[in-house]
Structure 1
Amino acid sequence: MNIPNTITFSRLLGIPFILYLLQNPTAQSRWICVAIFLICALTDWLDGYLARKLNQITDLGKFLDPLVDKLLVLAPLLSLIELKQIPAWGVFVILARELTVAGWRVNQTNISGANIWGKLKTVSQIIAISLLIAPLPQNWQTSTLIAFWVSVALTIISGAIYLFPSKSESKIL
């Protein structure tokens, strides 16, 4: 395993801490969760940067990176359902898209990296989850829910674009 893939795999180590700390969501534990979540999210950028810079892009990395991203996103979202901060059906939409795209990728002979819509989806999810985890004042509740629904919308859009690329995008690939 190369350095970028090792960094990708290490991102999994933050998930148990996030889940544990969200079981007793004090203000302090929530800020710690935000910090852990953002550090893990930054490693997503770091592993991609290093893979390109060191010319270590691999099919394993193209498969492992989005899989770990999905786990990092879905773990706190499931805890936030349990805390009654977000509706389960919104998370189900995200989960359904992720499983559909993952299943689609398994059947592809050539695994492609994320397009701009997939990257926007990931960034919007990171922002939404960070806001939802953070112990923000009550007047932020509407903003955090808007961020969540924007991420759900981008999840749907990016999934549709991935599964049904336009003819002009097909020519580029």
Structure 2
Amino acid sequence: MVIFLVCALTDWLDGYLARKLNQITDLGKFLDPLVDKLLVLAPLLSLIELGQIPAWGVFVILGRELAIAGWRVNQATISGANIWGKLKTVSQIIAIALLIAPLGESWRVPALAAFWVCVALTVISGVIYLLPSEPLKSQS
């Protein structure tokens, strides 16, 4: 769990420093979400193998991530994550940390609840990401 949280912290620190030092690049905006996906999906796949979480919840997360990654590649400009994407990532990190922490059986229900919250936020953030930013004008 400590290694996982250190990785998550360094990922956050990288983004923070890039913004603070005005070193944001299109490559960074493309690669950072990919690193986030690897950081999240690797432990989730391991938790499936260990029987700790249901596979379909992880497949929902994986499906959203693949859909958004594919959508982003086809955009003329690469945009950074919005607040919903950031909330999704934070909720995933919290859920994974609770699921892999050696906390005992009394933490099983809160850890699973955190997992389902992160699945819900993953779906919500995906829907929001794909919605047009401006309302469609009615055609006359």
- State the TM-score bracket (shorter-chain normalisation): over 0.9
The yes-or-no answer on 1:70 pairing with 2:37 is yes
Among 52, 76, 99, the residue aligned to 1:109? 76
* Code of the aligned partner of 1:74: L
Pairwise CA distance, 1:166 = 4.5
Equivalent residues in 2 for 1:13-162, closer than 5 Å: 34-162=1-129
Residue in structure 2 matched with residue 24 of structure 1 by the alignment: none
Pairwise CA distance, 1:96 = 0.1
CA offset digits 1:79-128 (Å, max 9, x no partner): 00000000000000000000000000000110000000000000000000
How many pairs does the alignment contain?
135
Counterparts of 1:117 and 1:75, CA distance in 2: 22
Counterparts of 1:111 and 1:166, CA distance in 2: 15
**Cα RMSD, aligned residues only:** 0.9
Residue in structure 1 matched with residue 138 of structure 2 by the alignment: none
Structure 2: any 5+ residue segments left out of the alignment?
A: 136-140
Structure 1: any 5+ residue segments left out of the alignment?
A: 1-33, 169-173
Counterparts of 2:4 and 2:132, CA distance in 1: 31
Instruction: Please identify, of 60-69 and 43-52, the stretch whose mean Cα deviation from structure 2 is larger.
Output: 43-52
DSSP-derived class of the 1:167 partner: coil
Pairwise CA distance, 1:165 = 3.6
* Code of the aligned partner of 2:97: S
Identity of aligned residues (%): 82
Tell me the TM-score normalized by structure 2: 0.94
Pairwise CA distance, 1:167 = 2.5
Counterparts of 2:116 and 2:109, CA distance in 1: 11
CA offset digits 1:56-78 (Å, max 9, x no partner): 10000000000010011000000
DSSP-derived class of the 2:52 partner: coil
DSSP-derived class of the 1:136 partner: coil
